[in-house]
Amino acid sequence: MKVSIVIPAKNEAQNLASFLPRLLEIAGDAECIVVNDGSSDETIVICRENGAEVVSHPYSKGNGAAIKTGARAASGDMIVFLDGDGQHKPEDIPRLLAEMEKGFDMVVGARDRESQADSFRDFANGIYNRLASTITGHRILDLTSGFRAVNARKFREFLYLLPNGFSYPTTCTMAFFRAGYSVGYIPIQTGRRLGNSHISLVKDGIRFLVIIFKVGSLYSPLKIFLPASAGLFLTGCGYYFYTFVTQGRFTNMSAVLFITAIVVFLIGLVSEQVTTLMYKDNRD
């Protein structure tokens, strides 16, 4: 089967200069596409000097947008995605592809704790993995890893779902599980990038919180809304019991809690139906 390698890159000339020769040596006959996301440095020059195909955005659209552009341009039956910062080891690509040959539709390179950039990201990723594992009922070792191999046809089914920002790995992982596709993992170690990261602690800290809710809404919204509704209902029951004992009456606050619990449940029910339609198989 033909393999395409897609690398989103924005101002990564320094990393690509040392990374691409290693990658192309390992890649063999695989198609290698670098998606230049509006870089202002020598990214395009470095790629062309090393013989990599370049697809450029006229301006920066985001990591997820670069992934979508690369997936559309790739001609392979399988696509391997790597970050352009040089942290992923090209030597791990054959391991990903070997695992794909076992029948998986997507194989993710799962980073160990030493590979996390800092303690904050290690903590955040741990929360993501546990939450996603609980919601899907499958053990998820690394929800946010950008190093993965996918079945190209099945991956393209979900391009419309992928955000243009940094959370594409979360979205496609949950989409594959929701669609009933097989997801596997191999352990990897990542290196340290040269230059500055494009991650902002404050900005992306807020983004990480949004991802937590997105994980549930992508797979099964009712699994998020139902516990919230139950919590509000039980709080209403507890408050009603308290006011009945102390004041002998049913208060407006109890009514608000009960009504809110019903509304939250109904929102979750509707969201569940919308999510089902999102994953409707349109290939027939």
Look at residues 172, 201, 230 and tell me which one is the last residue of a structural domain: 201
Residue 211 lies in a domain: no
Q: Are residues 99 and 237 in the same domain?
A: no
Residue 140 lies in a domain: yes
pLDDT digits (tens, 9 = 90+) for 153-177: 999 999 988 888 877 898 899 889 9
Label residue 32 left, alpha or beta by phi (over 0 means left) and psi (-120 to 50 means alpha): beta
Cα–Cα distances in angstroms (integers) from residue 179 to residues 138, 159, 175, 185, 237, in the given order: 13, 14, 6, 18, 38
Residue 109 lies in a domain: yes
Q: Beta strand pairing status for 78-81 and 148-151?
A: antiparallel
Q: Are residues 164 and 27 in the same domain?
A: yes
Q: Are residues 197 and 229 in the same domain?
A: no
Q: What is the pTM of this model?
A: 0.80
Q: Are residues 102 and 193 in the same domain?
A: yes
What is residue 69's predicted lDDT score, i.e. its pLDDT? 96
What stretches of 108-251 show up as alpha helix (H) in DSSP? 119-136, 152-156, 168-178, 201-219, 222-246
Task: Check if the beta carbon of residue 65 is closer than 8 Å to that of residue 37.
Answer: yes
Number of domains in the chain: 2
Residue 163 lies in a domain: yes
Q: Are residues 193 and 249 in the same domain?
A: no
Q: How many residues does this entry show for the chain?
A: 284
Q: Are residues 130 and 237 in the same domain?
A: no
Q: Are residues 142 and 173 in the same domain?
A: yes
Q: Are residues 240 and 187 in the same domain?
A: no
Residue 206 lies in a domain: no
Q: What's 11's domain CATH number?
A: 3.90.550.10
What spatial distance separates the first Cα and last Cα of the chain, rounded to whole Å? Answer: 24
Chunked mean pLDDT (size 10), the chain, 284 residues: 93 91 90 94 92 93 94 96 89 94 95 65 79 87 92 94 84 89 93 56 64 74 90 95 90 94 94 80 50
Residue 72 lies in a domain: yes
Q: Are residues 21 and 88 in the same domain?
A: yes
What is residue 30's predicted lDDT score, i.e. its pLDDT? 92
- What is the domain range of residue 269? 222-278
